[in-house]
Structure 1
């Protein structure tokens, strides 16, 4: 999920549109989140750096109180009038998410005001519940993608980069999930009221959804191992193998192979990618 951060008062904007672009290029295998920052984060960087522990604790306390889940702070990122805290759950359901801690740049102090955009954290948790419900199928997906480096020369993000720069729910170095449409709010609410519900019951609930095969988007995001452009034939081979693969979780799959370079500040791939196109040739399983 995209998160939002405070832009003065109570105005929220999409974080994806507010990532600082720089010319600091880093090979994906060397990128561990260094230099990650949001637009105008330079104006709060000093305050955020000096108060990192306090900000982290504000975020953890907020999340623990509101969602009754144990999380740890992986990164505290300067942003416009705020810091974005990248959080990771300590146990199942496993997910990465983020919350926003306000910063008063005039008084040069951190405020104990913590927020998150409505629905984002909830959807992040939903993706994790889906992964719990289909743990065997996701183990099969893990087996499918882990052969990419040796077989095709495509790699994923480092674990450090995932934890410090990604807040998209259930996410690995090779892929991430997103809830499509309205998601599964009823399942989320049931889990929050009854966190002891078992995985079999969760799976049954997901299978009763109207469109279980299109409920979740699964994006396989890879990178070339060097500065050689992605071989389209190899990418097409992955796509065809994915179509034929058995035992994978239901979902609408996308395959994206990026170049080798990452923009350090944004954490995003530099240049064009090769693969499926959204709403054109995605794979439904």
Structure 2
């Protein structure tokens, strides 16, 4: 569940033996350990040695720039410094990331050099606010996915993995949402602006400023990612069709463009992805 730079890995068939063990881990055990970014070997060592310094700088940055208190969960070295994974405290709830510069020669954290990718944090914040606005609809979605997973021996990501390498905004063990920042720029700016003016704003007040029946449902992506619960099990085609069929009949879920995936039991440690050649996928299931 990571849309940040995913090293050099691509979806594909498994390797075997030691190579398999080096690259893949059961989603049941996956905590985010092993995640790798291109050319981040040297900076990764420095970043982890000076985690406390990065943590302090990042907390101050998010509070100043986004009016949001965050928990800093993990740092991973990249070519320019470190990618820092954070979780917001309370509501709106979301996971995202920012980057901080590192002077490798001086082994120095450049606390004055913190930046984010275009609209990444704004998109994540907006998703968390939408979950507050459409709390009843999200509860319907949660009940369906959790119930289906429990009845059919499916699973999702552990919370530790979401915390350590999750960067997909409003994220649960089974799904995340990604509002399109360009297509929904007006709504995102309006709703985020209300939060920036008053970070303690509650769901009731937010609901009065956003018409949940007015946006184009194609512009909010819901990515549902389920896994087989047992190691060695391949994605079950009949079970996946049952999931798709029952989901299409579901009423009351948030309006959006749903992408459904069923993976086997393994996650690529380097890329934080469960998607492989054997993954089963159904795209563009619209709820309007």
TM-score between the two structures when normalised by the length of structure 2: 0.87
5 Å matches for 1:167-182? 167-180=167-180, 181-182=182-183
Match of 2:139 in 1: 139
* 8 Å CA contact retained: 1:20, 1:38: no
**Residues 2 and 166 of structure 2 are in contact (CA less than 8 Å); yes or no, is this contact kept in structure 1?**
no
Say whether residues 1:241 and 2:230 are aligned partners. no
Q: TM-score, normalised by structure 1?
A: 0.88
Q: Secondary structure at the match of 1:252?
A: strand
Instruction: Write the deviation string for residues 30-80 of structure 1: whole angstroms up to 9, x where unpaired.
Output: 101111221112121221121111111111111111111111101111111
Structure 1 residues 247 and 284: alpha-carbon distance in aligned structure 2, compared to 1, 3 A threshold = closer
Q: Secondary structure at the match of 1:192?
A: helix
Q: Tell me which moved more, 22-31 or 96-105.
A: 22-31
Aligned residues of 2:218 and 2:286 also touching (Cα < 8 A): no
Counterpart in the other structure of 1:257: 262
Task: Determine the structure 2 residue equivalent to 1:275.
Answer: 281
Task: Say whether residues 1:16 and 2:5 are aligned partners.
Answer: yes
Q: Hey, what does 1:200 align to over in structure 2?
A: 204
Runs of 4+ in 1 over 4 A off after TM superposition: 19-23
Structure 2 residue runs without a partner (length 5+): 11-18
Q: How does 1:3-152 map to 2 (within 5 A)?
A: 15-18=4-7, 23-112=22-111, 113-152=113-152
Distance apart, 1:164 and its partner CA: 0.6
User: Contact conserved, 1:19 with 1:39, CA < 8 A, in 2?
Assistant: yes
SS at match of 1:220: strand
In 2, Cα distance between equivalents of 1:55 and 1:196: 26
Check conservation: 1:252, 1:282, Cα contact below 8 A. Answer: yes
Name the counterpart of 1:220. 224
Question: C-alpha deviations, 1:156-182, integer Å up to 9, x for none?
Answer: 011100111111110001000001243
Gaps spanning 5+ residues in structure 1: where?
4-14
Q: Distance in 1 between matches of 2:64 and 2:9?
A: 31
Match of 1:6 in 2: none
Taking the aligned partners of 2:234 and 2:9, their CA distance within structure 1 comes to: 25
Give me the whole-angstrom Cα distance separating, in 2, the residues matched to 1:125 and 1:71: 12
Spell out the pairing of 1:158-169 with structure 2 (5 A cutoff): 158-169=158-169
Question: Take 2:86 and 2:108, find their aligned partners in 1: how far apart are those partners?
Answer: 22
Number of matched pairs: 271
1:140 alignment partner, SS class: helix
Farther off after superposition, 215-224 or 84-93: 215-224
1:238 Cα shift? Answer: 0.8
Q: Is contact 1:33–1:267 with CA below 8 Å preserved after alignment?
A: yes
